[in-house]
Structure 1
Amino acid sequence: MDEKRQFARILFATGAKLQQDDKVWNTNILDLSLNGALVDEPDAFSPSNAAIILSFTLQGSDIEVQMETSLTHHKAGHLGLKCLHIDVDSISHLRRMIELNTGDSAMLNRELELFVEAHEKA
């Protein structure tokens, strides 16, 4: 099978919140990348076509990471979320977390360039 991912993923188990319009669900993040996340499907999950806000607090701090996402897949009790927008502070914290977990800052710099290019076109 060909690997289609352009962004390194890290295993990252933590609680998170999904918000869409006036609906809020609690979930758990399974893995993260600069371009999205895989999360557990929350109970009573019933999304619309609107963007989904994923937010979580970094363990041992009061730093909240937040990204606007779209649902790319929904299967086997998991949701694949693609990042549509993320603020500078959140992407800086996310980048640092991935760098600490992969140990490869050169790869992350390439991925950040890909991320910026992809989101400038959108």
Structure 2
Amino acid sequence: MTTSSNERRRFQRIDFDAPTELCQGERCWPVNLLDISLKGLLIERPANWNADLSQDFEAVIHLNEKRSEVRMQVELRHEEPERLGFLCLYIDIDSMTHLHRLVELNLADSTEMMRELRQLIED
């Protein structure tokens, strides 16, 4: 990643591996989640990728066997040969609670977590 990308990044990415699906209408792709933040996610491009890039997606990240999950409406923001980056457009309160806890557990600095939440609210 270049320095300018680091300067622009306002949300810490958390390396995270969990069963994840990306859906668009009737189509769903099981995907490998690379990282997640309060503002989006990065996945490996699925082998059978044939999505309508003009339409939004729903990402579902399964956190455990107790059916806890993070669901978010996302849009494709950047596409690389092996990775796809998505911006979160909408997340419900239950999913946000799970995501907040996940990020909080992975950030060593509680001050950083508060800064990210303020930034999310201001965006």
Q: Deviations over 1:41-62 (max 9, x none)?
A: 1121122111110001113532
Aligned residues: 118
- The answer for unaligned runs of 5 or more in structure 1 is none
* 1:24-82: CA deviation from partner (whole Å, max 9, x where unpaired): 11101100100001001112112211111000111353201101101011113111011
Structure 1's consecutive aligned runs of 4 or more residues displaced over 3 angstroms after TM superposition are none
Partner of 1:87: 92
1:45 alignment partner, SS class: coil
5+ residue gaps in structure 2? none
* Other structure's SS at 1:107 match: helix
The equivalent position to 2:36 in structure 1, one of 18, 32, 40, is: 32
Output the aligned Cα RMSD. Answer: 1.2
CA distance in 2, matches of 1:87, 1:105: 23
Q: Identity, % of aligned pairs? A: 36
Whether 2:7 is the aligned partner of 1:7: answer no
* TM-score between the two structures when normalised by the length of structure 1: 0.90
Pairing 1:1-122 to 2, within 5 Å after superposition = 1-2=3-4, 3=6, 4-48=8-52, 49-118=54-123
